[in-house]
Copies of this chain bind each other. A is one copy, B any other.
Amino acid sequence: MNKAPDYSCVYVTITTESGLKGYGITFSLGRGNNIICEAIELLKHLVIGQDLKEIFSDFSTFWRSITSEDQIRWLGPEKGVMHMAVAAITNAIWDLWARIEKKPLWKLLVDMDPEQLVNTIDFRHMSDALSREEAIEILKNMQSGKEQREKEMLQDGYPAYTTSCAWLGYSDDKIVRLCKEAMAQGFTRFKMKVGSDLEDDKRRAKILRQTMKPEMLLMVDANQKWEVQEAIDWMKELAEYNITWIEEPTSPDDVLGHATISKALQPLGIGVATGEMCQNRIMFKQFLMSGAMQYCQIDSCRVGGVSENVAIILMAKKFGVPVCPHAGGIGLCEYVQHLSLFDYIAVSGSLDKRMTEFTSHLHEHFVYPAQMKNGCYVVPQDPGYSIEMKESTMDAYVWPTGSVWQKLIQDGVYKLH
């Protein structure tokens, strides 16, 4: 589906009167990035000039004011381009919030009083799955042991898995080499792409299984390629390789289809994972309530930022589904490590069946890049949400003024409209 991504992002900077800055991004695959920029232009009058103290004291009202502006809402509601724009804006505000409190974002969330944190959530159209009172109760019940879990995370980090070993079409030798390298780095969980050619999927799964230790985990990802029945049939063929999850077997909009696939694959021990293109809490609600996902792959940039992800993490807890965030792209690893830490320390209290995606590319652009140790995310300790980009990156890569673009434009590779 995503044949030739050209990783790009919209980068939002919010500056306070006193000169503090917060940074937020939403991620895209290249073309269309400018559409999200236009969407942010459309929304920015709802943010500029607002009082930060008022936003922080009633975040859910602020959030609704930008997700449900009465004319703009028609373009969504709360989905696609418009919601990704909301994510970039609100993530920047959360970054600012954490910087003001001089805490990394995960720590800001973990330390918040349960009522205060729950007040950041807009419960509209999700209250049949989770009420405000239930959300507070979940957080209160997990207060005990928080310090111990925080200490544990600071020492061990949060478990990750790697997607980099077995892309479509990699040769046997390359797969063996990359898998061994990843194991040497401490990885014990691997994901490979499937869905283009069954025999090639079997070949790569076999090579991986022969290279990995038996207790290590193997997940597969179809990137929405299949129809419902096709997903079931294909995965039955791959079951012998002991697959932990099949990710995105079909359309991200198809709750009932995922429920059908989940039911069919449950006897084979294969779970269904999805979420990176799940548009909002209302879709996650249905996936969680109907047994349509066994692994909840939240994304930091597609739903409306931190508070909507907190809502989804709390629903996942209620329905007993482990949260395993989507990462990769650009900046997603930097972001989601905070959400996983919050989940473990303050909500789930468990690492069972939980792991966060990691890919090794593009970290060099960030002031506070995500770091790996023994196949785990090292806990970020700098204030904020870890998404601030380096000045050198901005100088080189901002479209169209960056030096790299200017060179490409001069060489005639790109044209300015």
Q: Does A233 sit at the interface, judged by CB under 8 A?
A: no
CB under 8 Å from chain B, chain A span 18-45: 28-32, 34-36, 38-39, 42
Comparing A72-80, A167-175, A366-374, the segment that makes contact with chain B is A72-80
* Contact call A76/B70, Cβ cutoff below 8 A: no
**A61: which B residues are within 8 A, CB to CB?**
none
Q: Does A125 sit at the interface, judged by CB under 8 A?
A: yes
**A72: which B residues are within 8 A, CB to CB?**
29, 31-32
**A74: which B residues are within 8 A, CB to CB?**
2, 5, 28-29, 32, 277
**A255: which B residues are within 8 A, CB to CB?**
255-256, 286
How long is the Cα–Cα vector from A42 to B68 in the complex, in angstroms?
A: 25
Q: How many chain copies does the complex carry?
A: 2
Partner of A75, one of B1, B36, B127: B36
Given contacts A1-B68, A32-B74, A71-B32, is CB(A257)–CB(B80) below 8 Å? Answer: no
Min Cβ gap A357→B in Å is 16
Min Cβ gap A46→B in Å is 11
Min Cβ gap A28→B in Å is 6
* Contact call A282/B75, Cβ cutoff below 8 A: no
**A35: which B residues are within 8 A, CB to CB?**
35, 38-39, 42, 75, 81-82
Given contacts A29-B71, A71-B32, A253-B283, is CB(A277)–CB(B77) below 8 Å? Answer: yes
How long is the Cα–Cα vector from A400 to B30 in the complex, in angstroms?
A: 29
* Contact call A282/B32, Cβ cutoff below 8 A: no
* Contact call B6/A227, Cβ cutoff below 8 A: no
Residue in A34, A253, A277 whose Cβ sees the most chain B Cβ within 10 Å:
A253
**A30: which B residues are within 8 A, CB to CB?**
71
Identify the 3 closest CB pairs spanning chains A and B, nearest first. A80-B80, A125-B251, A3-B70
Closest B residue to A8 by CB, please name it: B71
Closest B residue to A69 by CB, please name it: B31
Min Cβ gap A326→B in Å is 12
Q: Does A84 sit at the interface, judged by CB under 8 A?
A: yes
Partner of A70, one of B4, B83, B224: B4
**Chain A count of residues within 8 A CB distance of the other chain:** 60
Min Cβ gap A1→B in Å is 7
Closest B residue to A30 by CB, please name it: B71
Partner of A260, one of B78, B128, B250: B128
* Contact call B34/A38, Cβ cutoff below 8 A: yes
* Contact call A253/B229, Cβ cutoff below 8 A: no
Closest B residue to A41 by CB, please name it: B417
How long is the Cα–Cα vector from A68 to B5 in the complex, in angstroms?
A: 13
CB under 8 Å from chain B, chain A span 114-131: 124-125, 127-128
**A84: which B residues are within 8 A, CB to CB?**
75
* Contact call A229/B128, Cβ cutoff below 8 A: yes
* Contact call B128/A227, Cβ cutoff below 8 A: yes
**A73: which B residues are within 8 A, CB to CB?**
1-2, 29
Q: Does A186 sit at the interface, judged by CB under 8 A?
A: no
- Given A2-B70, A29-B71, A125-B224, 4 other A-B residues pairs in contact with their CB atoms under 8 A: A5-B70, A29-B74, A35-B39, A127-B228
* Contact call A125/B227, Cβ cutoff below 8 A: yes
* Contact call B4/A79, Cβ cutoff below 8 A: no
* Contact call B250/A125, Cβ cutoff below 8 A: yes
* Contact call B71/A251, Cβ cutoff below 8 A: no
